[in-house]
Amino acid sequence: MKLLSVLLSLCLTFNVLAASGTVGELERQLDEYQYTMTVEWDQKDQAFQERETKAFFEKISAAISSGEASKESIMSLAESKIKNHKALEALKLKMTLLGQASSSAELATLLRENSKEFYGQGASWNGNVEMILIGAGVIALIGYLVWWSANHECVEWEEQWECTTNTNTDPYYNSSTTTTNCGWVDVCTSYQKI
């Protein structure tokens, strides 16, 4: 009985190692393609992109055709890489719709189309242009106010009567109290450049 359980555990171990080697090779090829497209490609050289994409398709198609990679290994890789649950469900649906008669080219195309879901989105210099413009405008306004206050001084003051109203709400007693404070305030009426 011990011999049988040792034999069975060895068989299962080698089966897992063989399967993880396939997934590992598939993952390595996908990682290389992702690295090439995000780091090495300058987003302008279309010939480079087409050449690398074609090479990736050929590698994946060869792995699928030779039996090194299967639908199961692709799904295993997708489940380990994709963090977005909806994207994973969409990929599973596509794989189901392809059925058993899917070619290696179809599987490679499916893998390439969904590869953007496998990796987290990094920093991008292509941010929202509107937000950049708003931020630049706020920074320019603050800079101008600092410059203006450093180069101008008040030369005339005037006292003005000013009242402020404060409302305090107490949620415990469900009531609010309004207070009005009035007093003389010094206000600058004329500035001179330094």
Q: In whole angstroms, give the CA distance from residue 53 to residue 57.
A: 6
**pLDDT at residue 37, rounded to an integer:** 74
Strand partners, 168: 177
Judged against a pLDDT cut of 80, whether residue 85 lies above it is answered with no
Domain residue spans in the chain?
2-117, 132-193
Report the candidate in 77, 72, 32, 76 with the shortest Cα–Cα distance to residue 56: 32
- pLDDT one-digit tens code per residue, 97-129: 666 546 666 666 666 666 665 555 555 555 567
**pLDDT at residue 1, rounded to an integer:** 40
For the chain, what is the largest distance between any 2 Cα atoms, rounded to a whole number of angstroms?
Answer: 103
Contact criterion met (CB below 8 Å) for 139 and 176: no
**Averaged pLDDT of the chain:** 74
**pLDDT at residue 182, rounded to an integer:** 94
Find how far residue 61's CA is from the centre of its chain: 29
What are the contacts of 140-147 at 24+ separation with CB within 8 A? none
- φ, ψ dihedrals at 188, nearest 5°: -75, 130
Q: In whole angstroms, give the CA distance from residue 19 to residue 33.
A: 21
**pLDDT at residue 165, rounded to an integer:** 92
- pLDDT one-digit tens code per residue, 15-45: 444 444 556 777 787 778 777 777 777 677 7
Mean pLDDT along residues 59-65: 74
Give the SS3 label for residue 23: helix
**pLDDT at residue 72, rounded to an integer:** 74
Q: Which residue has the higher pLDDT, 119 or 168?
A: 168
- pLDDT one-digit tens code per residue, 4-20: 343 444 444 444 444 44
Report the candidate in 126, 122, 125, 111 with the shortest Cα–Cα distance to residue 31: 111
Strand partners, 191: 154
